[in-house]
Each structure stands twice: as C-alpha cells, then as structure tokens.
Chains A and B, each alone.
Chain A
Amino acid sequence: MNIYAASKVAYRSLRANKMRSILTMLGMIIGVAAVIAMVSIGAGANERISAQIASVGSNLILVIPGSTTSGGLRSGFGGVPTLTMADAKAIGKELAAVARATPSVRGSAPVVYGNQNWSTIIQGVTPEFFQIRDWALAGGRYFTGAEVEAAAKVAVLGQTVADNLFGEESPVGKIVRIKRVPFTVAGILEKKGQSPQGQDQDDIVIVPVTSAQRKILGSAHIGTVGGILAQAVDAASIGEAERQIVELLKQRHRIGPGQENDFSVRNLSEMLAVAEESTRIMSLLLGAIASVSLLVGGIGIMNIMLVSVTERTREIGIRMAVGARERDILLQFLIEALVLAVTGGAIGILAGVGGSKLISLFAGWSTLISSGAVFLAFGFSAAVGIFFGFYPARKASRLDPIEALRYE
C-alpha cells in the first residue's frame, strides 16, 4: 500500500470517529499552542533584556572604592572614598585596553523649575560619560571638558526629569535650580527606559563632576570620587582592561602583594550576562513545562490508537486475509496517528501564535514568535505522532490473522 492510499484510509477512519478524533487532537493543539506561547514569552523577555543590556552601554567596567574580600567585615564597601579624580584620569589615559574613563559622583537632590519640583539623581561626570554609556542627545548639547575644568553650572537632563519639570516646554537654555543652585540646561538626553535592575535610567540629571562636588553634593575628601566608569576598547579586551585597571590602581595606591585592595572592579556586561542567562533558563523552563502538555497529548494519541486497533481487530484480520502485509497495516495506523498529531500541531501553532499575540496585547508582555520555534513545534508534533503511534501500529501489524478474523 502506498502512502497516498494509506492516507486516504486514515482520513476516512478519523472522519468516521469525528468527536474522538477532535478530542484527541485537542491534546496536541493545547500542547503545541502552550509550547509556542511559552517560548514566545521567553524569547520576548530575552530580547527585552538584550535591549536593556545594550542601553547600559557596551564593554562597561565599573571601579568602586572598598574591598570585595569575602568573609570578615567588608567595612565601607563603596563608601570609603579611596578613588580620586586623578585615578580616573590615569585609567582613561594610560591603559591600552581602556578606551576612555570618567569619574562619577552620585547623589540625590531636588531640582526646581518655576513652580515645578522634582527629586532626582544627580550624577557628576566628565563628557566621556556620554560616549561610555552610548547616550545620544534628544536636543541641545553635552557639556564640554572646559566646562568640567571650570566647574560650570550646566546640566544635561534625562527625559523623565525634562518631562516632569518642563512638560511641553523646551528645556534647553532654561535655568533650573539644583539644591537652590542655578544650572543652565545644556541638553536633553534620549530616552533609555528601564535598566536591567528595573530603575528608570532617564530619571537623572548629568552635570560636570566638579560642579557636582563643589556646588551640589559636596565631598568629604577633596578630589575623591564615588566611582569610575571605564570602557574597554572592545568586548574581547574587557578582561585585559580589568586586569590593567587593577594593576594601575595597585601601583597608584601603593598596595603591595598580599595586601587587600582598597577598590574593586566590576564588569557590568558580566553581571548583565547573568541576568540574561537567568531569563534564558526561565524560558527554557517555560518551554519544558509546556512540552509536558505536548507529551500528554502524545499519550492521548497512543491511548486512542490502542482503542482503535482493538476495535478494528476484525478489519485488520480482513485486510490481512486479502493480502495486507505487516508493513501495510503498520503504515495505515502510523499514518492515522501522524494525521492526528500533525493536524493537531498545525491548529496548535495557529492557536499558539494567536495566544501569544493576545498575551502581549492584554498583559503587555513582549512576545517574540520565531519561525524556528514554529517549525520545531510542528516537527515535534509529527515526531510525537510517529513515536506514540508506533506501538499501537506495530501491535496491529503483529496480530494473528486467524485470531483477528475470529474477533467479535
């Protein structure tokens, strides 16, 4: 019997038991739809994380004061001001693997414009910061190195701050008061959205580091900074850049071998890679859970095929008596299982795609349907059909024709 003839026979017998066939397919439909929806949710989350990672800036290295030794007291981790402006300058200028670096101080302060007032983060940096964070302007200009030297009272606003203080008005050139000190708005930054940690990155005011220290935040030790942001020349040299920074700072801080560092270096890409990995595992988990329902669908097919083989024992006997070989019977039942699985799979794909669209529409989660996942789900459902159809089909093909003909 050829495949075409076998398909016709299979189609006919599935139609003869419409309700049963539909219910059996429902198992596959739910399974495939669940896999597609879950994988698309996972892929969507993954994509969002990737976008966030890109928004933080590439090849970023963070140097913070304090030691990271494990065990014992980590007193003043990030608090003891051991890093200086000069350290930042040296990292940016002297190291081959570091493209640029900026000192950074952070604090919060109220910002006032007219009768509007907004409490936000004030970050003091040098102009390299904008390159390191890959942060474009929405309007106006960045502040310059000369302005840093002069501790000029200029500020660049994040979108959230601009929106809250100015609304529709254009902020560029206007005067805002940060802790009652008047600053001229030089530029507005483009929107970056949430950080991987869920903070609003646009709720910020960037000012020259000198201005921040002298006019807004103050500083206990003159010349010290809260941290240093550095950018490696490329992704491959992040490790080398880290090593060079540690070496340079050890030398500059006169830390001998065996002594504890008074600073620590962190690689942001690494931290974010961890976040990415966790969403990946999450989406794998979702897919795995959904696959269980696909498995259950497959068992449903096997179950119904076994019932069908028993019910049609006599038919099998007749077919054998008129000359059907084992492989003819095997093919017939295998194709029947395959038709069930693949039809269910196809409907399941439609349901899964529709479902994930609905999820992103109503729950606001980003979903991403890849053609790979669709093909995989379809292939998997066909495989399920063959796998779970094989045992019943084989059972049918191995029947003794005499027994089968006698079966009532």
Chain B
Amino acid sequence: MGVPAIEVEHLGKTYRLGEVNVEALRDVSLTVDRGEFIAIMGASGSGKSTLMNILGCLDKPSRGTYRLDGEDVGSLSRDALATIRRMKIGFVFQGFNLLSRMTALENVELPMIYGDTPSPVRRERAREALRAVGILDREHHLPSQMSGGQQQRVAIARAIVNAPSLLLADEPTGNLDTATSIDIMTIFQGLATDRGITMVLVTHETEIAQYSKRIVRFRDGRIVSDSPVAAS
C-alpha cells in the first residue's frame, strides 16, 4: 500500500482566547490512505474545522505530528507550507471563494501563477481542469454570472489544476440545492476513484457523507467513531 496520504499522530491544538485556553483538538490520530474518500462529521466546535486547517497546511498543530505523503509538515515555515498547499493540496469551500473580478478561467489559473508556470501552459491546464468538471463553456464568465453549482465546479477545477494528492472540501454543498449537491458529490467521487486523489470532506449532512467510503465523527476535539460506509 506504501506511505499513507495522511498520517496524524496524537495531534493537539490549543488556542488562546484571552485568558482561556481552548482545546480544539485533543490527541487525534488518523491515517488516510491514498485515494481514500473520507467524511468528517461533527457538530460545530467539535474540532473538525481545526483539523481541516491543519490538514490543509493553513495552520500548525500545537502537539503531535502530521505527515503528508510521508513528509512531516508540522515544523515547516510559512513559505514552505504555502508551496505545499500549491503543489499538493486543493481546497473547496462552502462559499466557493472565487475571486470576483476574475473569469472562471483566470480563477483556475491562479494557483499556477504562483508557480511561475508559463502562460500558454497555464491556460491549457486550466481549460483541461474546467473540462474535467464539465464547465468549460463558462470559461469567460465572472463568478457573479454563474449559478452556485457552476461556481463550485470552477472552485473544484481550481483545486485540482495542480494535480494535488489531497483535496479538502469544507461543507462544499452547504450553499447548494439537493440536485446540484448530488452533481458535486459525484464529481468528488470521480476524482477519488479516477485520479486517485485523497478526499477529505467535512459535512454535517448524513446524506452527503454517504458519498464517502469512511466516516469519522468528532466531538469535543476527539474522534468518537471511525467506520466505513456500508455499501448501498
């Protein structure tokens, strides 16, 4: 099986809120294999967003280790983390987080701009990513000219354009209707099975979590259950 995509051991995160220390994560250990599709569930404040931020290299753990593709990223500098985010991680957010003044194509090109990819290559790869999520016909549209589902597809294209090994989706269907949610989840499933991208999905909707292969539940900063999804 080789090195797991994500290897988290005894992870802890403590925030200081004024005088009070808030334990957002307590001794979390989790291993996710390559190409695995897991869903993280839990009430708000259960620590799932904190875990996502750490997995996405946006935040550093207070305790414990986090190995991404076998590399310990807990001790890296801000710039090194930025490079890892660009090369290995794709983000999909609930609020899409597209840049409003840029067209769909330019939004997808964004991660490559920071890698100094030459312009023609950038354009070509951005088009490919848009085609993969079935939104190439909107490449010159601004986010404001697209529906929520279309915007989320553009966001997914942006997340996969650098061929990441890990895709993190934080409530990706939270702003979408049921039919569109199903479309989006189908895309995610395809990415995991066809491209072998490791998927970590945060959601509080059980139906959405069913699209994954494994559900990890959080409460008060701890994992309370970790079980495979029954094949339906």
Contacts and interface: CB of A to CB of B under 8 A. Distances in A.
A397 to B, nearest CB: 10
A218 B115 CA distance: 95
Contact of B101 (A13, A319, A322, A402): A13
Nearest to A317: B97
A73 to B, nearest CB: 82
A16 B83 CA distance: 29
Contact of B114 (A323, A402, A405): A323
Given A324-B82, A326-B82, A401-B58, A5 B113 contact: yes
Interface residues of B, number: 25
Given A1-B114, A2-B116, A402 B58 contact: yes
B97 A321 contact: yes
B12 interface: no
Contacts of A326: 78-79, 82
A322 B111 contact: yes
B91 A321 contact: yes
A326 B77 CA distance: 11
B80 to A, nearest CB: 9
B216 to A, nearest CB: 21
Contacts of A238: none
B172 to A, nearest CB: 14
Given A315-B99, A405-B93, A321 B56 contact: yes
* Chain A interface residue bracket vs B: 20 to 34
A325 B83 contact: yes
Contact of A325 (B99, B101, B114): B114
Contact of B85 (A12, A315, A322): A322
Contact of B82 (A315, A323, A402): A323
A250 interface: no
B59 interface: yes
B127 interface: no
B62 interface: no
B59 A322 contact: no
A401 B57 CA distance: 10
Interface string B103-124: 0000000110111100000000
A295 interface: no
B158 interface: yes
B114 A328 contact: yes
B53 interface: yes
A320 B98 CA distance: 13
Given A326-B79, A405-B58, 13 more contacts: A1-B113, A315-B99, A319-B110, A320-B85, A321-B58, A322-B85, A322-B91, A322-B111, A324-B114, A325-B82, A401-B58, A402-B53, A405-B93
Interface of A: 1-2, 5, 12-13, 16, 314-315, 317-328, 401-402, 405
